[in-house]
Amino acid sequence: MAVAWWVGLFTAVGRAQFVELLASADLTLLLASVAIGIVVNMSSSLKWWMLVRARAMQAGYWRIFSYYLVGQFYNLFLPTSVGGDVVRSYELGKFTGRQADALASVFVERYTGVLVLLLVAGLAVLSQLALFSEKFVLASLLFFAVVLTAIGWMIFDPRLYHWLRDSMLTKLPMSAVIFTKLDKLLASVQVYGQHKSALVWAFINSLLFYFLAVVNVYITALVFQFDVSFTHMLIATPIIMLIMNIPFSLGNIGLMEFGYSAVFELMGYEPALGAAVALLMRAKSLFDGAMGGMLHPLFVTGEFGKNS
């Protein structure tokens, strides 16, 4: 509701201008936007597949790509991407018979990605500190810096995790079931320390992924407005994505629209353009989710593509 008011959808003039903006969409660029969105998904799936392969789990790239789209389906109605990550790791674990290793591969894929995103977003903010000194931007950076530091600390020095686990077990003995699974996950994640080449490629792929994400946002913005600067999108995209990763709403509803509208306005564009880009991005997410929903019974729970 706040974003709709901000964009001006509660006034007849604002609604007319927004509809005109959507109607001005360039069909060729629209198709290009859909295509680059698919490439972004393929890039992210490639990173996950490389981490899966490093642990000798027998799952082909197209199966991993299918699991990734299935995760996109569950992301539509679960908080951020956490719910989708759980589902795709579960399906991989069910297929390989190695649930802890499957979850670890998703965890490492996600952790390295968010860590690179934090670094890129931090550089973007520093490059335009006068523009991005807004509280919601700085709070997003601080939130992820604290969370990622705490998680990294527990991985590299598990004494903190052991202290938290023992404290929780003393107060809530019933949590033993959860911590048994977390112990297995931590041990499996730590094994990736023996696969340094896989981690290096994971970080390199993350950089490639975010560059493709910038291209994705840039082309999507060009669909509605031709005078969009690629440099602006290079700065704005990681900040928008960081905001969208905050586990605040189901399916990022409202948060995604706020991120695009607010950051686009900070970059000197109309909030309506940001809202239009967010709307198209959400439509593409629905398309990805629909593909995942169709693949779930065919590629995941059935026998289709068993050797893929």
Tell me if 8 is assigned to some domain. no
Predicted pLDDT of residue 179: 87
pLDDT of residue 302: 47
**Contact assessment for residue 200 and residue 193, using Cβ atoms and an 8 Å cutoff:** no
Q: Do residues 225 and 273 make contact, with C-beta atoms less than 8 angstroms apart? A: yes
> Where do runs of H (alpha helix) occur along 128-254?
135-156, 159-171, 176-191, 196-222, 230-244
- Determine contact, residues 108/114, Cβ cutoff 8 Å: no
* Residue 242 neighbours by CB under 8 Å, 6+ apart: 117, 118, 121, 140, 141, 144
If pLDDT is split at 50, 70 and 90, which confidence band does 308 have? Answer: low
What secondary structure does DSSP assign to 91-120, as a single string? HHHHHHT-HHHHHHHHHHHHHHHHHHHHHH
Residue 18 scores a pLDDT above 80: no
Domain annotation covers residue 11: no
Q: Is position 207 within any domain?
A: yes
Average pLDDT, the chain: 86
Examine residue 114 and state whether it is found in any structural domain, yes or no. Answer: yes
What distance in Å separates the CA atoms of residue 170 and residue 234, rounded to the nearest whole number?
Answer: 48
Tell me, yes or no, whether 2 lies in a domain.
no
Q: How confident is the model at residue 245 (pLDDT cuts 50, 70, 90)?
A: confident
Q: pLDDT confidence of 229, banded at 50, 70, 90?
A: very high
In a domain, 93, yes or no: yes
Q: 79 — phi, psi (to 5°)? A: -60, 125
What's the confidence (pLDDT) of residue 1? 53
Quote the pTM value. Answer: 0.88
CB atoms near residue 206 (< 10 Å): 22
Q: Could you tell me if residue 294 is inside a domain?
A: yes
Q: Is the pLDDT of residue 27 over 70?
A: yes
The residue whose two tokens read 């890039």 is: 43
The answer to whether residue 230 sits within a structural domain is yes
Domain count, the chain: 1
Bridge partners, 79 (sequence order):
250
* Domain hosting residue 220, numbered range: 25-300
Residue 100 · residue 55 · CB < 8 Å:
no
Q: What phi and psi, each to the nearest 5 degrees, are found at residue 254? A: 90, -45
Distance CA 237, CA 264 (A): 9
* Res 305 pLDDT > 60: no
The pLDDT tens digits of the residues spanning 101-132 come to 999 999 999 999 999 999 999 998 888 878 78
